[in-house]
Chains A and B, each alone.
Chain A
Amino acid sequence: MTESELFQRYRETGDKELRNLIAEKYLHIAAILAKKFVGRGVEYDDLYQVASLALVKGIDRFDERKGLKFSTFITPTITGEIKNYFRDRSHLIHLPRKVSELRTAVLNATEELTRELGKKPTAAEIAAKLGVSEEEVLCSAEAGWVVSLDRPSEDGDMNYYDVISDGNDVFEKIDTHDAVASALEGLSETEKKLVAYRFGEELSQAETARRMGVSQMYISRMERKILEKLRERLKKSMAE
C-alpha cells in the first residue's frame, strides 16, 4: 500500500490499527528529530516521547490530498512540539516574579538581620523587616527548591523515589480489606448475597431483585439497612 493509500484508508475508516501501522512506519522520524535536540538539558527518552506523541497527533491531522509528503508535513509538527516542550519545561522551574523577588529579599534580610542581631533571625523578625506576613516568608523559603527523586532521603538508606508514597498503600489496603471482611461476617446469607450482587458484580437494584426473586423496593430497603449496619460496625472497629 502506498503512503497516500494508507492515509486515505485511515482517513476514511479511522481504524486505530491503521494509525498504529502508520505510526510504526514513521517512528524513526520522531527518533531522528529527538536526537537533534539532545544536549539542552532534557533526556533523549523524554524528547522521543514528546516527538512520538506529536507524530500520532500529526497522523490525525495529515491530509494526503494536499499533495505534501508525510515526512515533510510531520517534521515541523514534531519540531514545534519539541520546542513547546522546552518552553513549557523552562516555565515549570521558573518561579513567578513576585515569589522570586520575595525569595531574594528574604535571603538578603536574613543576612542583614544575622549581622544586626548576632544570631539567625526568626521568620517573624524577617517578616517585620520586610513588611510582609510570616506565612509569605515561610512559603518563599520553600519555593524554588527542585529536589531529585534520586537524592538520598533523610535517613540516607533510600532515595526519595523509594520512600514517597505512590498512593497505593498495600498495608492500608490490607487493613481496609480486613475491616470490611469482618464487618460482612455479621450479615445473614441473604444480606451477603445482596452485597455480592450489588457491590461485587455491580448489578442494578432491578437485576439484583430479579435474581433474588424479590421486588426492587425490597432490595432498596434492605440495601439501606445493610449499609447502615456496615457503617456502624466499621465505625466501631476503627474506634477499637
Chain B
Amino acid sequence: MMSQAPQVFSAVTKPDYGGVMPNEILIDRRTLLAAFAAALALGSSRACAETLRMRDLYNKDLSFSDLAQKMENERIEVRGYMAPPLKAESRFFVLTKRPMAVCPFCETEAEWPDDILAVYTKRIIDVVPYNVPIIVEGRLKLGTFEDPETGFVSRVRTIESHYARD
C-alpha cells in the first residue's frame, strides 16, 4: 500500500526543507481520498470502505466494538483530532474524538479521555492544531500496550499511520 502512493504520504512527514514546509505539500482530504482510490484501483488490500469515527471502535463500556475486532490488523481510516503531542519530535500522537479542550479551572493536570486512539507514524509528526479535524490512515492494533519511550499506555492503536487534514 505504502509503495503505491508514497508521493502522497511522504507529504505529511517532515522532509528536509530547512524547517519550512511549502504550503502546497499540505494535502487535503480530497487528494488523500483520490490517492486511496488510486491505490484501490491498483489492487490494494485496503479493507476500510469508509472513514470511521472513534465511537465505531469502542462500545460505550469501552470494550472493543465488533467492527474493531473484525478490522484488527487491517488498515483503517479514522476521523478525529490530534491532541497536543506529549513530546516534540515524536512518531506518536493521540487521536481524540473531540478537540481536547483543557479547562484550566476543571482540571489540575491533563485528563486523557478513555476513548482515544494512539497513532504511531512512520515519520516524525508534523503537529496539526488540536482543533483541526484530521483523517488518520493506519493498521489497527488492539490490546494494552505501554510505549517504552513515553510510558503511555494505550488499548487501541494504529501503526504505520499517515494523516491529513480532513
A and B: real partners? Answer: no
Using a CB–CB cutoff of 8 Å, the interface residues on chain B facing chain A are none
Using a CB–CB cutoff of 8 Å, the interface residues on chain A facing chain B are none
